[in-house]
Structure 1
């Protein structure tokens, strides 16, 4: 299994209603794609004070690299991703992606 982690450095002007809509849409995409599950999104609690520049993020689980690749090229995912990038400081530079092989 692969845990796909996405951390967002939101722009000060980011519209929280738009962020909520994008997260709902991404959750729908994950539920629709075989081999993908476990979508979770929310604010970064940053209990260790290590990542204050990334106030929001989401994760999903992919059964394997093929399922994650299917998610990556999905047209709805790409459209939602473009909306998400527009909410981030520096556009795409405000998005940090981290994939973990989870056993």
Structure 2
């Protein structure tokens, strides 16, 4: 299994409804792309205050690396990714992505 983790620093002035819509679009990918086991998302709730401005994130669990690799160039993922980059503070600089092989 591959766990794909994305942490986002949304730009100031973005409304909560817009953020919710963006995260829902990530969840919708599970119905559009094969190999996705689960999607979860939300705002940070850490009491440690170590987020460094990154306020929200999501996790996509894939069956294996091949499923993750097929997801990356998939047109539905590209469209959602472009929307997230446009909403992030500083564009792509406002997004951190990390993958874990489990």
What TM-score comes out, normalization by structure 1 length? 0.89
Gaps of 5+ in 1: none
Q: Following TM superposition, by how much is the alpha carbon of 1:31 offset from its aligned partner in structure 2, in angstroms?
A: 3.1
- The aligned residue for residue 71 of structure 1 is 71
Tell me the C-alpha RMSD between the 2 structures. 1.4
Q: Following TM superposition, by how much is the alpha carbon of 1:47 offset from its aligned partner in structure 2, in angstroms?
A: 2.5
Structure-2 separation of matches of 1:40 and 1:57: 9
SS of equivalent residue, structure 1 residue 76: helix
The more displaced of 55-64 and 14-23 is: 14-23
SS of equivalent residue, structure 2 residue 96: strand
Structure-1 separation of matches of 2:82 and 2:15: 14
Structure-2 separation of matches of 1:59 and 1:72: 14
Q: 1:34 to 1:15 in 2, by over 3 A?
A: same
SS of equivalent residue, structure 1 residue 50: coil
Moved over 6 A (4+): none
What TM-score comes out, normalization by structure 2 length? 0.90
- The aligned residue for residue 81 of structure 1 is 81
SS of equivalent residue, structure 2 residue 13: coil
